[in-house]
Amino acid sequence: MQYEQLNRDAIEAGLKNLSGWSLTDNGKVIVKTFQFKDFKAAFGFMTQCALMAEKMNHHPEWMNVYATVTVRLTTHATGGLTRHDLDLAAAMNGLIADA
């Protein structure tokens, strides 16, 4: 699969539609912390994300501590952000909206 790294303008435009996501690591990563009512809800979210990410063949860096899930998205193959990162972030936000 071919990945094209986004320029700063494209990243900032994409982030306008991604509630809660912020740019970090010199513009190479987007990050968001999701807060849930308990571990079961957090783990359920991660399970749904894992299935989605596998279908997209684009996998997050993440950490879970009880009811908190912190997600970092970047495309290692390009050394920065691609459309795939923005698409996965939108899909993750969609899971919360559907809950």
Instruction: Walk me through the domains of the chain, giving residue ranges and CATH numbers.
Output: 8-98 (3.30.1360.20)
Helix 83-98 with 8-15: angle, nearest 10 deg: 10
- pLDDT tens digits for 50-63? 999 999 989 899 99
pLDDT the model gives residue 31: 98
Residue 69, classed as helix, strand or coil, is strand
Tokens 């923005």: give the residue. Answer: 86
CB atoms within 10 A of CB 45: 19
- pLDDT tens digits for 12-40? 999 999 999 999 989 899 999 999 999 99
Instruction: Fill in the amino acid letter for 50.
Output: A
